Structure 1
Amino acid sequence: MAASLAAVKKEMRKGIRDKLKELSVATITFQSSDVMLTFFSMPEYKAARRISVYLSMPVGEINTSNIVRDALSQGKDVFIPYTYTLPSPNEGQPKSIMDMLQLKSMDDFNALQPDKWGIPTPSEDSIASRANCFGSTGITNGETTTGIEAGLDLIVMPGMAFDSNFGRLGHGKGFYDYFLTRCHQASRMPFRVGLSLTEQFLPPNESVPMDSSDFRLDALITGDGELRRAGAS
């Protein structure tokens, strides 16, 4: 069953990836602008003091740079993904995991260098001095202890595909689902928002294949600016 689910997910990613190759930069920019207008109006975003946001690739997904700018300008604590290999994974832990590390300023953001996917990434020598969202400094090596003032209020999540039941298909590494499992263990689950190009939003008769380790979203904003909320009638 697990092998079959993985094969279905892989095939869906391929289909979406082929669609995204056809999109122009102008189309992504236009959709990103509509998404931002809706996102900034959300009461959950306005109230959030600590947020995590993915830093977008040059193409193929909603651009999030304006979220970083707006959140920092409002004095919110902004955390970004950082993935790394665990030196000695415990039983049940993946070999590589993701922490959320703090951006210190717009100058810090502008100094990030693109990785092999074009995603702005902090330098290795800066990692040890960055706060992580679980309340300590540097990478956590999978520790999940969260202080009263730690954790996240809201997390902006990327994906390859999204559906009307708030399912999300990731890129296949499992980073976000394992990170959210750790948040759940620490008893501090953030409000989960997905941002989807219209080409990534599946038609009503299709859904993202999910298993027990996959987390659904609390809200989804599509490239036409429409906000969908889980549980809304």
Structure 2
Amino acid sequence: MARSIAAVKKEMRKGIKDKLKGLSVAAVTFQSSDAMRTLFAMPEYKAAKRISVYLSMPSGEINTSNIVRDALSQGKQVFVPYTYNLHSPLEGQPKSIMDMVELKSMDDFNALQPDKWGIPTPSDDSIASRANCFGGTGITNGDMMGMQAGLDLIIMPGMAFDSNFGRLGHGKGFYDYFLRRCYQASRMPFRVGLSLTEQFLLPNESVPMDSSDFRLDALITGDGELRRATA
């Protein structure tokens, strides 16, 4: 019997985690620097006025702190992930979802406290005063009625990436459900993945995808190479 997509994804995550265990902080710093140079040269990044960027874990992925610094210095609006539980999920909604809330300044960024994964995260009591990328302030509770705003560009993390612009997340489905909401609001951002070279799969390997998964528009690897999906 063929293994389920979920089982294949779980095995792939374990393989990537094992590969990343031996990666030094210096190697991640070096790859992050090369990836940033490529991102900052992209016309989509230069033109974007409203961007979302993941805030990186202490290890195991491209560090994004310099993206936050560069974007804010250019006057871009920067939105970062905030995850929370829905009190009464509707049919088809997950129990926990992700909104993107505005990061106001570098002082704001530097004041963020790490969550249990070491990811800088806005405090719960600050959310009500933060702009939401979909419009208004605070969380949306999954309600997309009347939402007009959106993002120009979203910079996405992942456990693994392939040459067909497939992305393997951490298994929570936060980004795919967020992108589905962007699609429903008719405002799909340009999607850029950042991958350490150790996270980029071999040409004969691919991320298992199902109907709920979104592919990337572009992928930047830690050697500074930019790959673009064909239209």
**Given the superposition, is the C-alpha separation of residues 3 and 103 from structure 1 closer, same or farther in structure 2, using an over 3 Å criterion?**
farther
- 1:41-87 CA-to-partner distances (Å, cap 9, x unmatched) read 00000000000000000000000000000000000000000000000
Contact (CA 8 Å) 2:162, 2:201: kept in 1 or not?
A: yes
Match of 2:61 in 1: 61
What's the TM-score, normalizing by structure 1? 0.97
- Say which SS state the counterpart of residue 107 (structure 2) adopts: helix
- Say which SS state the counterpart of residue 36 (structure 1) adopts: helix
Give the CA deviation at 1:145: 3.9
Match of 2:121 in 1: 121
Q: Distance in 2 between matches of 1:208 and 1:50?
A: 29
Q: How many residues get paired?
A: 231
1:108 counterpart letter in structure 2: D
Q: Distance in 1 between matches of 2:193 and 2:2?
A: 25
1:215 aligns with 2:211: no
Match of 1:144 in 2: 144
Contact (CA 8 Å) 1:166, 1:220: kept in 2 or not?
A: yes
Q: Distance in 1 between matches of 2:27 and 2:151?
A: 31
**Given the superposition, is the C-alpha separation of residues 147 and 141 from structure 1 closer, same or farther in structure 2, using an over 3 Å criterion?**
closer
**Given the superposition, is the C-alpha separation of residues 96 and 3 from structure 1 closer, same or farther in structure 2, using an over 3 Å criterion?**
farther
2:202 counterpart letter in structure 1: P
Give the CA deviation at 1:147: 4.9
User: Aligned runs of 1:1-233 on 2, under 5 Å?
Assistant: 4-145=4-145, 147-148=147-148, 150-231=149-230
Give the CA deviation at 1:206: 0.3
1:160 counterpart letter in structure 2: M
Gaps in structure 1 of 5+ consecutive residues: none
**Given the superposition, is the C-alpha separation of residues 190 and 145 from structure 1 closer, same or farther in structure 2, using an over 3 Å criterion?**
farther
- Say which SS state the counterpart of residue 4 (structure 2) adopts: helix
Gaps in structure 2 of 5+ consecutive residues: none
Give the CA deviation at 1:144: 1.9
Give the CA deviation at 1:146: 5.7
1:120 counterpart letter in structure 2: P
When the two chains are superposed, the root-mean-square deviation of aligned CA atoms in Å is: 1.3
Q: Distance in 2 between matches of 1:176 and 1:147?
A: 18
What's the TM-score, normalizing by structure 2? 0.98
Q: Distance in 1 between matches of 2:175 and 2:143?
A: 16
1:152 counterpart letter in structure 2: L
**Given the superposition, is the C-alpha separation of residues 21 and 146 from structure 1 closer, same or farther in structure 2, using an over 3 Å criterion?**
farther
Q: Distance in 1 between matches of 2:78 and 2:146?
A: 17
What percent of counterpart residues are identical? 86
Q: Distance in 2 between matches of 1:107 and 1:2?
A: 51
Q: Distance in 2 between matches of 1:146 and 1:75?
A: 26
Contact (CA 8 Å) 1:134, 1:146: kept in 2 or not?
A: no
